[in-house]
A and B are shown apart, each in its own frame.
Chain A
């Protein structure tokens, strides 16, 4: 009994000491002003003591983070060249040996206590937080919906078609606030709004919020744009392959092609399990009319009994293989599950497409 009591007392003292240190660090410790140098050419003067993630965001430099800085998502990795000190125990689970060797750190865990030098992808300089309103929710299939967000502040967004944003799901039903990535599906000619195509993930924190808690006229926050998936500047014929909500960035790219009067040959294979899982068919048929050389090929794996379907059947990759004999001069644009991406890459390379001509937005 005495031993247990002693352990309890020591544990309580240790906990109290840790809490006191945390409070002291936050309110008493003065690290003064520190300079964060980004990519050797941008410098921010920040008050020391905060995390690198929050210090950067206060200077409008947003690093992707899905967990809001709690050190559980590991999305906020940045390369720290100088000044971060040793890797913390809270970072260890999320950094492999190569990343540690390369200086990668979790920016939500690194404290700014002295001058820091970091390196980040240049595209992050364009990322901004946005306040928007959800103005329309449209059911596309049993588990896929389109969400239209009108932008309030800033009033417009500039992005490259194919990029994605990080949508904030606020805390609800005991779930903590999270951010999740969704590709923009709308016409980039409308910079005052974006549309997202979201598939319900059973048990998913953000998609459950979107489907069960988000209503038209509700305020919405997101930040972005992110991502490197985009249309190349060549005239090469294109093969596009997508499934499910992978439709989103492809649709955005098609709008972009139409806006630019693009005359590239393009064939788009879109896979669904059943006929009632297909969506945007009318919109795709309209693209066939509006784009000079565009063909849409919906593929249904298993048409349900009673459904009227005389299009392609089987896996989307099987339809792709049936339709083409040589893809050596084409470029491939893929968006969907890792399984779809892997299978489509295999088919395209078999058809002669060089790996470096295959662009994809993997879900993972």
Chain B
């Protein structure tokens, strides 16, 4: 199906490295809609949705922020640290809103497994169901996220 001009512009912005190093799609050649659909399906197989994963990430982000860049304990099995950086990034989707730079690193001390995300990554999952393309620096694999965060 032919893509609308808006969708083409979005794809171009996501592929550009003007906002984040390497762009949001990395080496992933699939259209954005296909990436979103595949990740939603993967989450479904894991018994989760983008919404409940995002809610968990938001709660961890809030607790990690309170640590002022030091690691904080989140429940019994998780440690999280938020590292913040100067500046903010807009969402590549066509709506207003800027998201502070920096990232949360969540680690399970028992296994050493960890996942990380930025405030923008969290917004992309929460509002757009977009986990970013394969090979992009901030791609969050749904399977890894569920394994570490739940």
Contacts and interface: CB of A to CB of B under 8 A. Distances in A.
Whether A and B are associated in the same complex: the answer reads: yes
B89 to A, nearest CB: 8
A339 B84 contact: yes
Contact of A315 (B2, B70, B92, B94): B70
With most chain A CB atoms within 10 A of its CB, the pick from B17, B71, B84, B96 is B84
A337 B69 contact: yes
Interface size class of B (residues with CB under 8 A): 35 or more
Nearest to A177: B18
A73 B90 contact: yes
Interface string A54-73: 00000000000011101011
B91 interface: yes
A343 to B, nearest CB: 6
A93 B94 contact: yes
Interface string A327-349: 00000000011111001000000
Interface in B52-100: 65-71, 82, 84-96, 98, 100
A148 interface: no
A176 B88 CA distance: 17
B37 to A, nearest CB: 22
Contacts of A94: 90, 96
Given A11-B2, A72-B19, A178-B18, A364 B88 contact: yes
Contacts of A181: 86-87
B18 A339 contact: no
Nearest to A342: B65
Main secondary structure, interface of B, reads loop
A363 B87 contact: yes
B21 interface: yes
A121 interface: no
With most chain A CB atoms within 10 A of its CB, the pick from B17, B95, B137 is B17
B68 A182 contact: no
Q: Which 5 A-B pairs have the closest CB atoms?
A: A337-B84, A203-B137, A301-B70, A363-B86, A93-B94
5 contacts: A201-B102, A203-B21, A203-B137, A245-B86, A339-B65
Interface of B: 2, 13, 16-22, 65-71, 82, 84-96, 98, 100-103, 137-138
Given A182-B86, A339-B65, 14 more contacts: A72-B19, A176-B18, A180-B86, A181-B86, A181-B87, A301-B68, A301-B69, A302-B71, A337-B82, A337-B85, A338-B65, A339-B84, A363-B84, A364-B88
Interface of A: 7, 11, 66-68, 70, 72-74, 92-96, 99, 174-176, 178, 180-182, 199, 201-205, 207-208, 243-245, 271, 273, 301-302, 315-317, 336-340, 343, 363-364
